[in-house]
């Protein structure tokens, strides 16, 4: 476990993960792709436990992108069913651990049964304080920024906001996780080295970590490796190394 006695900057307060490799994991084992997704649910549980133990306050997981609707219809249907069943099983466990569940994305396009489970989970856990578990479902970073800009455009249209008053902060205030710190560490499993339209605005100053480990095989040891890599980075937020050494750099604040 990460030593909490070390300097606070060594432990990210917010980790965002693209959980990639479920299908390839299943293929390697000559199993249907869907069983790879089921195995990935266990990895989610392990990562939540790791975050709680190591005082990581926010974990954001990319579960289903707005582009994933392009996958075969049968696979999408199975994924939606798995999402529903997993929520039913895990909501009470999350609540008992004092974890707040939040789902971000265009939820209106999700099956009604899934929307009902999301509402139940978010309502039950809304006052919990140990950690925020954020799950992105039918989410895209471009969609997130677009819906923020639309909200600001409506404010301008109604005469409540001048165009010159639109700032980075006002765009941030209309994003899906506007009340949470930006991710300190971004992890992508499965070997691909791209962000794939995930939290595009929020990842501006995040440390990026890519691992070939497939998501179902990602556990505490692999998470430790990501944290170790994070500890080895110098986070300058646009400043120089000399300014960092002199303590002149404050953490990047949204907006």
Helix (H, G, I), strand (E, B) or coil at 128: coil
Percentage of the chain lying above the pLDDT 90 cut: 83
Q: Check if the beta carbon of residue 186 is closer than 8 Å to that of residue 206.
A: yes
pLDDT value of residue 4: 40
Note if 197 is an active site residue. no
In this prediction, residue 165 carries a pLDDT of 96
- When pLDDT is averaged across residues 26-44 and rounded to a whole number, the result is 96
Q: What is the pLDDT of residue 241?
A: 62
CATH fold of the domain at 8-141+182-245: Undecaprenyl pyrophosphate synthetase (3.40.1180)
Asked if residue 183 lies in contact with residue 206, where contact means CB atoms within 8 angstroms, the answer is yes
pLDDT surpasses 70 at 254: no
Tokens of 10: 């060594």
pTM above 0.85, yes or no: yes
The terminus-to-terminus CA distance of the chain in angstroms comes to 33
Nearest-5° Cα angle at 47, 44 to 50: 155
What tokens does 122 get?
């978010």
SS3 of residue 174 by DSSP: coil
Q: What is the mean pLDDT of residues 125-148?
A: 97
Element housing 209 (H / E): strand 207-210
Model pLDDT, residue 82: 94
Per the annotation, the verdict on 182 as an active-site residue is: no
- Other CB atoms within 10 A of residue 86 CB: 19
pLDDT of residue 240: 63
Question: At residue 75, what are phi and psi to the nearest 5 degrees?
Answer: -65, -45
- Parse the chain into domains and list their residue ranges: 8-141+182-245
pLDDT band per the 50, 70, 90 thresholds, residue 187: very high
Buried residues in 230-243 as b, exposed as e (16+ CB within 10 A): beeeeeeeeeeeee
Q: Which two tokens stand for residue 177?
A: 């996780």
| Residue 6 pLDDT > 80 | no
Q: Per-residue pLDDT for 35 more than 50?
A: yes
Among 55, 68, 174, 197, the active-site one is 68
**Given strand 14-18, what is the order of strands in its sheet?**
99-104, 131-139, 58-65, 14-18, 185-188, 207-210
Q: Which of 136, 227, 121 is nearest to 180 (CA)?
A: 136
């Amino acid at each position: 476990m990460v030593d909490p006695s070390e300097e606070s900057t060594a432990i990210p307060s917010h980790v965002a993960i693209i959980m990639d490799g479920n299908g390839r994991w299943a293929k390697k084992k000559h199993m249907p792709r869907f069983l790879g997704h089921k195995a990935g649910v266990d990895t989610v549980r392990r990562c939540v436990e790791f975050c709680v133990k190591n005082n990581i306050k926010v974990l954001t997981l990319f579960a289903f992108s707005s582009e994933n609707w392009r996958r075969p219809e049968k696979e999408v249907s199975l994924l939606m069913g798995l999402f529903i069943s997993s929520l039913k099983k895990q909501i009470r466990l999350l609540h008992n651990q004092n974890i707040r569940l939040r789902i971000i994305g265009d939820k209106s396009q999700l099956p009604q049964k899934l929307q009902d489970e999301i509402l139940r989970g978010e309502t039950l856990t809304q006052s919990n304080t140990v950690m925020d578990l954020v799950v992105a479902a039918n989410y895209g970073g471009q969609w997130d920024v677009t819906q923020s800009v639309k909200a600001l455009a409506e404010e301008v249209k109604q005469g409540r906001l001048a165009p010159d008053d639109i700032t980075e902060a006002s765009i941030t205030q209309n994003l899906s996780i506007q009340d949470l710190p930006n991710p300190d560490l971004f992890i992508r499993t499965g070997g691909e080295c791209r962000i794939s339209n995930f939290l595009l605005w929020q990842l501006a100053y995040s440390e990026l970590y890519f691992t070939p480990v497939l998501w179902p095989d990602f556990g505490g040891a692999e998470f430790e490796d990501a944290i170790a890599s994070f500890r080895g980075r110098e986070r300058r937020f646009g400043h120089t190394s000399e300014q960092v050494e002199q303590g002149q750099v404050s953490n990047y604040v949204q907006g």
